[in-house]
Amino acid sequence: MRRNENIDPNSLNRPEGNDLVSNYDKHDTAEGRVKASLEAAGLTVENWGIDMRHDDGDGLIFDDKMDLKVYASTWNGEEYADALVGIVEVKYKSNDYYMFKINRRHWRHYVQIAAEHNVPTYIVFDNGEMLHWCRVSETLVVDTFAFPDGNEGVLLSNDYYTTNEAVGCLLDNQQASDG
């Protein structure tokens, strides 16, 4: 975890008027949907990211983790106490313009985590209607751009997996079929 005192959390307020704390509330709802889908498949879900939404220190906190770790007692036909089978980051997008768009710094971090843990790693976009599971890989980025606040962004391919495909991948230890 690190703090960047050069970034004021209040500078993250969007033109639509949604601030950091209200965005966390939407994120929590989306994360609940993701957890429920994984637990319904018999997987165990653990919060991994650090919640610093009410931190009143100077600057913005970066926790260097993703939201969830996913475990299974059976992995690839073998019995385990709790084998790590996946890592998940949840992104709620109330505006379709931002679907499949994320901060470039975050993207680099997700790629690094996927490589370090060597398990299926997903960014799940929730627009309130459907969960879109994007498996982290170097080839997922289709474009780069600048967000209105000046941050560098990446546009990810909209070739996503449904919840059933992604959960199947986690259960089978295989990539979900592209199609």
CA-closest candidate to residue 83, choices 72, 92, 91, 94: 72
pLDDT digits (tens, 9 = 90+) for 145-173: 998 888 899 999 988 898 888 988 887 75
Answer yes or no: is 27 within a domain: yes
CA-closest candidate to residue 121, choices 48, 28, 53: 48
Answer yes or no: is 177 within a domain: no
Let me know: does 133 contact 68? Beta carbons within 8 Å. no
Answer yes or no: is 179 within a domain: no
Answer yes or no: is 111 within a domain: yes
- 60/94: higher pLDDT: 94
Whether the full predicted model's pTM is greater than 0.75, yes or no, is yes
CA-closest candidate to residue 113, choices 129, 140, 136: 136
Into how many domains does the chain fold?
Answer: 1
Q: For the chain, give the percent of residues with pLDDT over 90.
A: 46
Which CATH number fits the domain that encloses residue 18? 3.40.1350.10
Answer yes or no: is 178 within a domain: no
Answer yes or no: is 23 within a domain: yes
- Which pLDDT band, with edges at 50, 70 and 90, does 83 fall under? confident
CB atoms within 10 A of CB 87: 23
Question: Which residue segment(s) compose the domain that 94 sits in?
Answer: 2-172
CA-closest candidate to residue 135, choices 179, 175, 90, 92: 175
Let me know: does 167 contact 154? Beta carbons within 8 Å. no
CA-closest candidate to residue 173, choices 74, 88, 36: 74
Q: What is the DSSP letter of 178?
A: P
Per the prediction, the chain carries an average pLDDT of 80
Answer yes or no: is 41 within a domain: yes
- Which pLDDT band, with edges at 50, 70 and 90, does 20 fall under? low
Answer yes or no: is 56 within a domain: yes
pLDDT digits (tens, 9 = 90+) for 54-65: 555 565 555 578
Q: Which residue has the tokens 């969960």?
A: 131
